[in-house]
Structure 1
């Protein structure tokens, strides 16, 4: 399926990421009754849900729409609202327990907001799946006190779900929920571990294989272990075995091969990163930070030049794994969006000097727009833009 030529860049890029999703399919149920009850009553969503209900539900019902909350991986934990809208949404699988992650359901406000880490509005025809094109939606990610995304809050319905006031309303609701999470953290602080294990960093940028650093010790991982750790480190909620196999090998059937590699990887982590854990069902990697996290965090803080300086090259540039390729694209997109929106000449020039920035026509056009008219760089930029446009 191809996106219309007039579609917004944000949506077009989401459609490209959604290419493996069946546009005529319906999201599968991923949480059963017990799992839903646990998610609603415990953890960060258990704390945030009462705030969302109190601040959002009456207005959403009055507007004939529905409100929803997802977990960090895009699974709907709670759905409520106008009864007519809920009945209509059931036909497209928008029900509690369904998996609305972007890579499962295609372009939608909750899935795409989680993917991009910011508020998103998706109008009817901008949805990737055909069954969803009757609806419009707005969603904003929800973060805990550490800044970790723990879910998203969504409003879905007709065109009223994407009115100008809807995104500010959701942003304010999420801010109130996050304040409640912060208060809960103060009331019930986590006890420190009895023995602090050294933290580890995974260096993924600019090298075909990853380097695992723990204190003064460093070890270079194999290509396959680099790909597995890169994919898992960028997916905090974890991945099912079939999904991880598809991300690493491009083949959902390669689960047996994957499991053998994971056994070997666990041995490497036990020896070189004792504070890290690699669990299964789903596969999830904890206790390791990455240089990708560092540069994206700098972008979020507005430290654009610091982020560009820390970007030493694409994520595992020699890897052909679909999940790594997707991560590379996500990082490039975050840089483009942050730098073009900010419009700072210094940061744009620094990014344009990198291979990724220099090959991005949008970045070069943004830089051209902010350079002084007599700048000697303008002629070279125009030539580079024309060359990119001719590809």
Structure 2
């Protein structure tokens, strides 16, 4: 019976040859359905299970159809990561070079956009198709730091035979997601890879720290852009009668009049000038501003809490590992918003319990701790700010007149894979997912 589990510190303390042999044995026994001498790390075991469900051949190669040069350049120009490449490179490229490794930056689809580092290792990386334009998701390359970090939404280190595909067993890699601070969407992955002999457990916290540094830089850039929008919008709002708010293209509030101030208003993916219904405001007249939008609330609107008449159906889409979203539709139109991991958990629990949940019950469902009611109330306040016409409280629940549908992944084990919420973990068993 497995009663111990591998960890990176233990591997680092072992002789390199001994550690490699142990990892190979753990992998071979696990993939064969037998009990290994020590359990693989939980994040690796979960990834191996996903690969088995996909039917991925562990003896396959790592070849990939590369992006054409013009498509590669387009993706480089289109991503916010281009603005912080100097920070990413300055934090890791030199270290990667001296430690016989390379730094890799991918987009949110796992496509390699940039790589820098040790020239000899870059030549070796070409042999496994770790080059610009290549795809490195789990679906294409099996368990690897880039693809598994994308799947899990958190920093991951994968060493030697922890890779699912045999061709990567001579490699070690550490990767962390880089998030857009405006909406927490994953922009891409920062990774350091090299020969297995260059493995060190400290590389993962280093990569994660540099990713966080880049996020902080983007956060400051965004703060300055909102300040610029505020300087343009403030005099306009002084002349506008009634209720209005100026927001940037991601819904962050720059200036407001006649409304309670909020940090952010959820906008649909496609916004254009004209009339638009928003769950948090009702029917609005939308006008462009430099770097954002002016939303003028039409005065015939009822207060936002009565907006349930406009919403008749909610679709909670949890079918994609990293892109949970909620869609609201009704007589006034439709609207969609991507969800943070925490908000996806909360809405999933409320979809399971149409009769409603108290703050203490939600705290137990999400945190396994009924005392965390203050945290739950704060999160639910943010959720209800965007779904005022859909959610009620006392207890928290979807309104009775709103039909709710949950789109789950094909396999229950892939439900919100990043989540450790007790309610989600219980739903990952095949019986619960039926």
Contact 1:316 1:324 in 2 (8 A): no
Q: CA deviation at 1:356?
A: 5.2
In the aligned structure 1, how far is the partner of 2:101 from the partner of 2:45?
Answer: 26
Please give the alpha-carbon distance, in whole angstroms, between the structure 1 residues aligned to 2:346 and 2:200: 30
**1:180 lines up with 2:217 in the alignment:** yes
1:59 aligns with 2:95: yes
Aligned position for 2:49: 16
Conserved in 2, the CA contact under 8 Å of 1:137 and 1:161?
no
What is the alpha-carbon distance in structure 1 between the residues aligned to residue 363 and residue 66 of structure 2? 38
Contact 1:155 1:161 in 2 (8 A): no
Matching of residue 335 in structure 1 with residue 420 in structure 2: yes
Return the alpha-carbon distance in structure 2 between the equivalents of residues 291 and 62 of structure 1: 37
Which stretches of structure 1, 4 residues or longer, exceed 6 Å deviation after superposition?
309-312
Query: What displacement does 1:167 show?
Result: 1.5
Question: 1:186 Cα shift?
Answer: 2.4
Q: TM-score scaled to structure 1, two decimals?
A: 0.60
- Aligned residue runs from structure 1 range 173-212, under 5 A: 173-189=210-226, 190-191=248-249, 194=273, 197-199=277-279
Q: TM-score, normalised by structure 2?
A: 0.54
Distance 2:217 2:340 in 1: 29
Deviation (angstroms), 1:358? 9.9
Instruction: Report which of the two structures shows the higher radius of gyration computed on alpha carbons.
Output: 2
Aligned residue among 25, 31, 45 for 1:3: 31
Q: Deviations over 1:164-215 (max 9, x none)?
A: 3212211221121111211221233435665554249xxxxxxxxxxxxx94
What SS is found at the alignment partner of 2:122?
Answer: helix
Q: Matched residues in 1 for 2:411 and 2:311: separation?
A: 22
Distance 1:358 1:71 in 2: 31
Q: Aligned pair count?
A: 278
Q: Is the 8 A contact 1:39 1:46 kept in 2?
A: no
Distance 1:48 1:357, change over 3 A: same
CA contact (8 A) 2:175 2:190 kept: yes
Distance 1:297 1:61, change over 3 A: farther
- The counterpart of 2:68, out of the listed 26, 32, 43, is 32
Q: Deviations over 1:64-123 (max 9, x none)?
A: 101101111212111221111111111111111111112221100111111111111111
C-alpha separation in 2, matches of 1:323 and 1:304 = 27
**1:323 aligned residue:** 410
Which residue matches 2:167? 131
Aligned partners of 1:91 and 1:85: how far apart in 2?
10
Kindly report which structure 2 residues correspond to 1:1-391, keeping only aligned pairs within 5 A, or say none. 2-3=30-31, 5=36, 6=38, 7-19=40-52, 20=54, 21-23=56-58, 24-29=60-65, 31-146=67-182, 147-159=184-196, 162-189=199-226, 190-191=248-249, 194=273, 197-199=277-279, 215-216=307-308, 217-220=310-313, 229-231=317-319, 234-236=321-323, 273-276=333-336, 287=337, 289=339, 293-295=343-345, 305=364, 307=366, 323=410, 325-328=412-415, 330-331=416-417, 334-335=419-420, 351=422, 357=426
Aligned-partner Cα distance in 2 for 1:50–1:188: 20
List alignment gaps of at least 5 residues for structure 1. Answer: 201-213, 239-265, 277-286, 337-350, 361-391
2:70 is paired with a residue whose SS is: helix
Asked if structure 2 preserves the Cα contact closer than 8 Å seen for 1:69 and 1:77, the reply is yes
Unaligned runs of 5+ in 2: 1-27, 227-247, 252-270, 281-305, 349-361, 371-375, 377-395, 398-403, 430-434
Q: 1:156 to 1:358 in 2, by over 3 A?
A: closer
The 2-side partners of 1:110 and 1:43 are apart by 17
Take 2:307 and 2:341, find their aligned partners in 1: how far apart are those partners?
A: 15
Deviation at 1:141, TM superposition (A): 0.8
1:124 Cα offset (Å): 0.6
Structure 2 CA distance for partners of 1:14 and 1:296, relative to 1, 3 Å? farther
**Is the partner of 1:77 in helix, strand or coil?**
strand
Change in CA separation of 1:117 and 1:291 when aligned onto 2, cut-off 3 Å: closer
Higher strand fraction (1 or 2): 2
